[in-house]
Amino acid sequence: MPHGTGLGGCDPGFTPAQCSLYKLGIRAIKQEETCHKLSFAWEKDVRRINREQRATSKDCAEINDRYSLGIMNQCCVDIWMQGCAFTLVRGGGNANSSACLQTPPPFQNSNTACHYASARFEDGTYVGKETVQNLEQTNFLRCTKWASAHHLSTVLNSREIGFQLPMPSGEDSSEEMDVDPLPAMKAKAAMTKTGEAPGEVDPLQPKEEERFSDLGESSFYDVSNGKNGRSGLSSSKQAKFKHFETTLSVITEAKKEVTCKFCAPKLRRSLIVGTTNDGCDGDASRVCEVKKTLRCERICFLIGHRGRLSKGESHWKQAFTKRHCPVGKIMRHHSFNSSDSSSTEDAVVNITDSASLFTKQDVPVKAPVTLQKVSESMDHLPPAVQMRVMSDNYGTDDKGLSLCCFPGCVLPKRLEDGTDNPWYWYDGTRTMQEAVSAEMAHLF
């Protein structure tokens, strides 16, 4: 049927809702065929690796690389997970077994697995057969939760963060004046520029405007480190800064592993032979350790407006624009790449004692930066469902909202015109790639 019917090729007798369902069915049939072919391709490799329950993280990564699995795969979306990446999950069969299992697609529920065992501690690891949780001999538990976790993060253009010099050694930061530092800094920079600054100027020191012109190359301090955690900015300046804020849609490969040894509360000792009684000397029945690992998989900048009138929220325009989006570019292959090397080694940042963030120094797959209008990816859904997805996932009712997405969360340090990318830095020491997924350490 010609597009002139207004129904995009549907039967002219269909209502818009019926047409959407028709498109959904057609799309689902094609998607099913594509994704089943993909799962058939990697099935033998996965069975081989998991056969003896001794898989390693390296084994999982090799499968992901061989078949280009991950959230950028077209079969890692909605209800299809055949194209999603594998991750190492421990437990099952015995206390120290391991297998490569798939991570669910973004915006889907997390996967969980708990395994109990009758274990002993030998040579630095737990050994023992899997049991049922309420069996008398059960003394060990390992639970794993893993997901492609999604969250929205609102950040400020790095040129407008505001900064202050570090406090001199021994000076009490609580005595710091709780005033807006921005006017004074701008005035000082202006006086230096015109030569009106009081006192002598060291000719070897850079001028203020030079020091602050490229925050990515200089040390600066977020004013949120001020008194009692307040920004130090007046309400009027906070309103002004709204024009420099933008929202990120962040996908993080998140995994939480909880390992517990059982205690005998009356005896105040561990029930696992070979372990210490640390933690069991009270009334606790279990002593658990938590380990979280996070990896930023994709950053998407919202272009358009946030806010939902149906929830009493005002619309506010995102500061990130199409000018900042290098559509179609693969970051590691271009001179304005964020990385000066082609290293694919993981960089590890410890967020808490139990949570670590892993980042790639370069994009792990040859996936380009994309720019897509959100509504276009949902044209097969009824309009009411589209608006609900927009509201739930992106906090907006803007039908024109677009996403500029960076695979691997790797952003260009400079824009194509050679100017500094104001969205590359999160604060004075960390890039967006290194920082935006850190929030999941507290949420997941």
Q: Where are the domains of the chain?
A: 1-110, 154-164+187-193+207-249+296-342+360-443
Query: What is the model's pLDDT at position 174?
Result: 41
Task: State the pLDDT at residue 238.
Answer: 57
Please tell me the distance from the alpha carbon of residue 116 to that of residue 126, in angstroms, as a whole number: 12
Q: What is the dihedral of CA 403, 404, 406, 407, to 10 degrees?
A: 50
Predicted TM-score (pTM) of this structure: 0.75
Q: What was the pLDDT predicted at 67? A: 94
Residue 300 CB burial class (10 angstroms; 0-12, 13-18, ≥19): buried
Query: Among 326, 313, 322, which Cα is nearest to 394's?
Result: 313
Conformation bin of residue 417: beta by default, left when phi > 0, alpha when psi is -120 to 50: alpha
Taking the C-alpha atoms of residue 368 and residue 370, their distance in angstroms, rounded to an integer, is 6
* pLDDT in the model for residue 118: 95
Write down the pLDDT at residue 348.
85
Mean pLDDT in runs of 10 for the chain (444 residues)?
44 71 72 91 95 93 93 88 94 90 94 95 91 93 96 85 48 43 52 46 38 33 39 57 85 95 92 91 90 93 92 89 89 51 68 85 70 84 84 92 92 84 85 88 89
Residue 55: the pLDDT is 94
Beta strands 355-360 and 286-303, pairing class: parallel
pLDDT at 221: 31
Q: What is the pLDDT of residue 347?
A: 80
